[in-house]
Amino acid sequence: MKVNELAPQPLWSIFETISQIPHPSHHLEQITAYVVDFGKKLGLETVVDETGNVVIKKPATPGMENRKKVVLQAHLDMVPQKNASVNHDFTKDPLQLIVDGDWVKANNTTLGSDNGIGVASILAILQVTNLKHGPIEALLTADEETGMYGAFGLKPGFIDGEILINTDSEEEGELFVGCAGGMDMTATFQYKDVSEIPEGDIAFKLSLTGLKGGHSGVDIHLGRYNANKLLFRFLKTAVAEYEARLSWVSGGTLRNAIPREAFAIVTIPNHLKDEFLELAAEFEGIFQDENGATEPNLAFKAEETDLPKTLLPEEIQDDLINAIVGVRNGVARMNPALPGVVESSSNLAIVETESGKTTVNILIRSSLKTMKEALASSLESVFLLAGAKVEFSGDYPGWAPNPDSPILKTMKSVYLNLYGKKPDINVIHAGLECGIIGAVYPGMDMISFGPTLKFPHSPDEKVNIPSVERYWNYLVAVLENIPVK
């Protein structure tokens, strides 16, 4: 079956169209033009703000004019991740969609169901004419995945709805009423490259590949390996015992994705070649033994390569390695009030060398502002002790739950009537835009829900087909039951 033939057909048809339009973060010109044209062709008021956010306004259907105005919200950008085996340019190439049983996925790339299913469902609501609903504002934000720039750019008056329904959650049957806040930390080591390679040295390229990766918020508790942590664990032994010198390292590509791959170039004395290769094989076996059930495709290889032109200064190399081996990564604390929910975490997302500089990027998340600050301080301390310059950016607020939320009450009742059971009420350990939007529009009643997505932010991303239909039916029913003003 083709994707555009799945039910509900309007949603899936739009999602397939979206998948053919390149829309990674910061490359949204084409997808923005598409949604603007979509709204205008329907004869609806359509506005784009200076940040690139789009709002499309649809009047109430007859008899529903007295309902509270609802803002349906999703973000336009997707995370661009691919397996090394596929040649794909996210700024130019369409995604190749695959129907695999009850799932839709892409061919060795991220699918963009985060948040493309949300976008498609909102556009379908605007398009379909036989629905009952009050006044609607479709808010489609820009560049959420790289720092929530669209939400941060919202200005008072751009929307005026009383209720916001965010469609960026990833487990059907759950209603999310709160989320973590976050901030980015950048540690920079600056130095003068060493151009003298020890005589008799040879070079190896180290490649750690095949990890699952995933979303650095919702997947952080699953015990998946971080490619940067593993690579530097090996490097510490290689430097201490095999006279290795580091020339270059590149691990991870996105701040909010658990790094799946990491690479480095090192030099070692030629007479230690065989022992070094044995060490690499030994570490591959150690990594597989430690976490083979979670990371069955892990591979760690050392392959001889051309000598590099420069090396990191030895003292910088040692400080960098010790800092990355020592810095906290993963879950820092579970929420004591909500069993099974992560409260605070960090993701050692990117390590990258360029001429005279090595940069380390970490994304910090917490549902408590004070714990976010405490975790940031502990991470900062490690890198300050290592001699790095540390900067923070992109600080965004969490979204505090409101147990008395009217939209929560409505959605619980509608779900019970539809499916004969209560939905789960949860707080998500990810940075939804609700917290930022709520700061711009105080008093807005907010909730988040969506269909079931697995492995977002990784090439294994997939969306469950039956859950999309249930999500759609639920959304339609909720819009029919929005409270009166």
Q: So which residues are the catalytic ones?
A: 77, 144
Q: Is 117:167 a contact under the CB 8 Å cutoff?
A: yes
Q: At 120, which helix (H) or strand (E)?
A: helix 113-127
* Coil/strand/helix, residue 15: helix
Phi, psi of 431 (to 5 degrees): -95, 80
Q: How many CB atoms lie within 10 A of CB 329?
A: 19
Encoded tokens for 426: 């949860």
3-state secondary structure 147-204: CCHHHHCCCCCCCCCCEEEECCCCCCCEEEEEECEEEEEEEEEECCCECCCCCCEEEE
Burial profile 221-241: b = 16 or more Cβ within 10 angstroms, e = fewer: eeebbbbbbbbbbbbbebbee
- What are the residue ranges of helices labelled H in 268-313? 273-291
- What are the residue ranges of helices labelled H in 420-483? 434-440, 465-480
Q: Is 110:461 a contact under the CB 8 Å cutoff?
A: yes
* Coil/strand/helix, residue 335: coil
Q: CA–CA separation, 375 vs 366, rounded Å?
A: 9
Q: CA–CA separation, 430 vs 319, rounded Å?
A: 31
Residue identified by tokens 């509608």 is 414
